Structure 1
Amino acid sequence: MDTLTPTPPRSLWRQHDFRLLVGGRLISQLGDQLQFLALPLLVVALTGSSTQAGVVLGLQTAAQLVFGLAAGALVDRWNRKATMIWCEIGRGLLTATIPVAAAAGALGMPQLYAVAVLGGALSTLFQAANSSALPNIVGRSDLPAALAAMGVMSNALRIVGASVAGIAYALGRLVPFAFNAVSFLASAAALRAVRAGFQAERATTAAPRALVADIGHGLSWLWRKPVIRTLALLDAGDSLRFGAGYLLIIMLAQGLHANPTQVGVVFTGAGVGALLGSLLAPTLTRRFALGKLSITMLWVEALAFPFYALAPTWWLLLVVAFAESVVSPIYNVALDSYRLAVTPDAVRGRVTSAIDTLTGGAAALGTMASGAAVALIGAPTLTFVLAGWLACLAIVATLSRTVRAATATD
């Protein structure tokens, strides 16, 4: 039996379990922000090679993509709460090996490669369990507010995280890793204190299937749901553009003679826009249908994106980044609320992981292709190509009956 029956509305922040879940996640994400900056800097300090730094970061992404589908099937089989706790403990111990090995004078690249791969696999397993468990902790009626609150905190960390990470690294290049190791253990303790169940009761009469069969069952369920399937494919197309956009904006800003601090301010503007979108998301999600939000987001992105290439100064580039970043969190809250609510608990891990793998793979492909594309046709031209791509996605969404008819009550 699923646990998504409507419950009387109440303040999320008065819910003991939600506060614990959010508090643990906030500490853990701050640690991740610190390590995200410190890891490539540490690799460069050890090897003098930016290529090696890129390989380490690439291994984390590769582990997430390779392990994504299996992670979803596993969290649908296992106890999600126990899985999340052990993932946090495992990530904490892995991260702690870095300062310990450095103190012993034994830190080398093989260890950092292993930490990247194993940490990426544990992160993928944790995220699949976390997303699948949320509806059981807060209930269907509170999903939009819960997702928006998490988005607000993530975007707030995105704004201040780089500065905090820089300060932590300046205190000592191993300080971010020590902090992150402790943050994982704090997150595990918070999860341990959550009282709500992380999954619905499961029938135990069915014979166990092979992992591949479980994955296939989840993909089959996803394919039979036209709204989720269509929006997932559109999201993958949008993620392709998003992955290419990071390097593209850097190159456009440098073309406007922006210094590194000013480039950082441009991305801070994007973070502020996303924060505003997260704050607006609960109200707009209740007021507008999911299909309308999807179509609106794609058209706003398509119409705003060319202005990246047309902006004559770096601070106008900031304005574009701010404006374009507002709409995506609103739509994401509406889409994730819908998907989590209508997906049965027994297959939620597999469906969530399949979509995350699809969109994450598209973003990674965009990131990898963006460097070659900028070198081949130039940043301004690539901007207009990506704007055209977004316009095509918007047209497809507008013409799709499935998208136009999508509502939160489907």
Structure 2
Amino acid sequence: MDNPISTPPVPLWRQHDFRLLLGGRLVSQLGDSLQFLALPLLVVALTGSPTQAGLLLGLQTVVYLVFGLVAGALVDRWNRRTTMIWCEIGRGSLTATVPVAAMSGVLGMPQLYAVALLNGVLSTLFGAANGSALPNIVPVRDLAAALGTVGAFSSGLRIVGSAVAGVAYAAGRMLPFAVNAVSFLASAAFLRAIRTDFEQVRPAAPGSPRTLVTDIGRGLAWLWHRPVIRTLALLDAADSLRFGAGYLLIVMLAQGLHASPTQTALVFTGAGVGALLGSLLAPALTRRFPLGSLSITMLWAEALAFPFYALAPTWWLLLVVAFTESVVSPVYNVALDSHRLAVTPDALRGRVTSAIDTLTTGGAAIGTIASGALIARLGTTTLTFMLAGWLAFLALAATLSRTVRTARV
């Protein structure tokens, strides 16, 4: 009897649908990078109020915290690719209203708040669907490589995007918004060209709000009864507190070293380069080491690196610390996300993904909100060591947890 001929695995870069998914994401992210800088500058130009700029930027986070769980349940009920395409078309259309209104001389803050709110809802839906679809686009064996590739390109684009954003805004105040609107439509075209289904089985649409609440509860119950994913998700959310507080803290530490705005920006560029390196290393490390060992090692590495932010005597050494510390997170995130996506049933993936993202987003938001008051009250040095202590506590908790120590991808 003849032996069946096994089909050799197709390298990730030769997988047509993954290339399209990655291309659409990068095009959209480039547009977002341009608008992220342009939006607060536009608000300050219209109102002269940095407070209103901060409120507008924070609105999307608030929307995610309020709507995230609902979005996860909805994308588990809907066709994910169709949902993502219409979200991109909607976001592109909403964003296009900003330059149109500006050219008509009627642009004002009510419109910008409405656009930010509606875009926040669509972005939350898109993110839940996008995070759930990847295991249906690439084989399970390629999940870590796919996540690392996406992370590497995103980090690289974030580095380039910051520089391009300033040039685009200087060329024309509405240019970043126009480019972003086009990028959403281009992303929709990429998604439309993907041949693979984004879900295995699509259930019927929800019949009532009560049914939706039941669906959310089922997703949370499944997550709660998976000790490895639950424990690591809680540790990640607690780590996000430090991440949220870190941005303003590093800015103030750089100012304390008399760094210029350009030098401060270079510190964050160093962090971006570190994240890029971590994303490139993550797939190989995920294949070689158990999930628990990676998680514990990464948390201790963060805890040991963080105090050096307060000890750095010059801005360029601050850059070195930012680079070193930023290598860690992508490795941990790729290992955790590839494990979670591989073991979560497809029908629950949107709800589980949105629940974890809501936890981490909430942690980062709390850290961001509290950072200003903590710096004013404690000072940058004391807060740096407090956050380092918090990271050491999390690393110790992970080390003592049998669930984490024995976790494997």
**Structure-1-length-normalised TM-score:** 0.96
Matches within 5 A, 1:39-188: 39-188=39-188
Distance in 2 between the 1:333 and 1:36 partners? 25
Distance in 2 between the 1:52 and 1:381 partners? 30
SS of the residue corresponding to residue 268 of structure 2 reads: helix
Aligned counterpart, 2:3: none
Distance of aligned partners of 1:170 and 1:210 in 2 relative to their CA distance in 1, 3 Å threshold: same
In the alignment, is residue 303 of structure 1 matched against residue 299 of structure 2? Answer: no
Query: C-alpha deviations, 1:244-275, integer Å up to 9, x for none?
Result: 00000000010000010000000000000110
Distance of aligned partners of 1:205 and 1:170 in 2 relative to their CA distance in 1, 3 Å threshold: closer
Distance in 2 between the 1:327 and 1:257 partners? 28
Aligned counterpart, 2:15: 15
Matches within 5 A, 1:361-380: 361-380=362-381
Aligned counterpart, 2:314: 313
Q: Conserved in 2, the CA contact under 8 Å of 1:40 and 1:57?
A: yes
Distance in 2 between the 1:397 and 1:21 partners? 34
Distance in 1 between the 2:114 and 2:88 partners? 17
SS of the residue corresponding to residue 166 of structure 2 reads: helix
Distance of aligned partners of 1:88 and 1:206 in 2 relative to their CA distance in 1, 3 Å threshold: closer
SS of the residue corresponding to residue 173 of structure 1 reads: coil
**Does 203-212 or 42-51 show the bigger shift?**
203-212
Query: C-alpha deviations, 1:164-197, integer Å up to 9, x for none?
Result: 0001101101000000000000000110010001
Aligned counterpart, 1:213: 214
SS of the residue corresponding to residue 327 of structure 2 reads: helix
Q: Count the aligned residue pairs.
A: 403
Distance in 1 between the 2:50 and 2:205 partners? 54
Q: Conserved in 1, the CA contact under 8 Å of 2:77 and 2:204?
A: no
Shift of 1:9: 3.0
Supply the AA of the counterpart residue of 2:320.
V
Aligned counterpart, 1:359: 360
Distance of aligned partners of 1:7 and 1:61 in 2 relative to their CA distance in 1, 3 Å threshold: farther
Distance in 1 between the 2:171 and 2:206 partners? 55
Distance in 1 between the 2:214 and 2:246 partners? 37
In the alignment, is residue 385 of structure 1 matched against residue 386 of structure 2? Answer: yes
In the alignment, is residue 232 of structure 1 matched against residue 233 of structure 2? Answer: yes
Aligned counterpart, 2:351: 350
Distance in 2 between the 1:392 and 1:106 partners? 53
Unaligned runs of 5+ in 1: 1-5
**Does 56-65 or 123-132 show the bigger shift?**
56-65
Query: C-alpha deviations, 1:18-49, integer Å up to 9, x for none?
Result: 11111111000000000000000000010011
Query: C-alpha deviations, 1:101-122, integer Å up to 9, x for none?
Result: 0000010000000011110110
Identity fraction in percent: 77
Supply the AA of the counterpart residue of 1:310.
L
Distance in 2 between the 1:134 and 1:158 partners? 21
Distance in 2 between the 1:271 and 1:348 partners? 29
Distance in 2 between the 1:226 and 1:170 partners? 50
Q: Conserved in 2, the CA contact under 8 Å of 1:7 and 1:140?
A: no
Q: Conserved in 1, the CA contact under 8 Å of 2:92 and 2:184?
A: yes
In the alignment, is residue 403 of structure 1 matched against residue 404 of structure 2? Answer: yes
SS of the residue corresponding to residue 210 of structure 1 reads: helix
Distance in 2 between the 1:307 and 1:264 partners? 19
Q: Conserved in 2, the CA contact under 8 Å of 1:7 and 1:141?
A: no
Query: C-alpha deviations, 1:331-372, integer Å up to 9, x for none?
Result: 111110000000000000000000000000000000000000
**Structure-2-length-normalised TM-score:** 0.97
Distance in 1 between the 2:178 and 2:64 partners? 23
Distance in 2 between the 1:133 and 1:268 partners? 30
Shift of 1:10: 2.1
Supply the AA of the counterpart residue of 2:253.
L
Shift of 1:277: 0.6
Q: Conserved in 2, the CA contact under 8 Å of 1:232 and 1:355?
A: yes
Shift of 1:7: 8.7
CA RMSD, Structure 1 to Structure 2 (Å): 1.5
Query: C-alpha deviations, 1:84-133, integer Å up to 9, x for none?
Result: 00000000000000000000001000000001111011001001000101
Supply the AA of the counterpart residue of 1:400.
S
Shift of 1:160: 1.1
Q: Conserved in 2, the CA contact under 8 Å of 1:219 and 1:354?
A: yes
Query: C-alpha deviations, 1:360-395, integer Å up to 9, x for none?
Result: 000000000000000000001000000000000000
Q: Conserved in 2, the CA contact under 8 Å of 1:9 and 1:141?
A: no
Aligned counterpart, 2:284: 283
Shift of 1:205: 12
Shift of 1:200: 0.5
Supply the AA of the counterpart residue of 1:283.
A
Unaligned runs of 5+ in 2: 1-5
Q: Conserved in 2, the CA contact under 8 Å of 1:273 and 1:326?
A: yes
Aligned counterpart, 2:38: 38
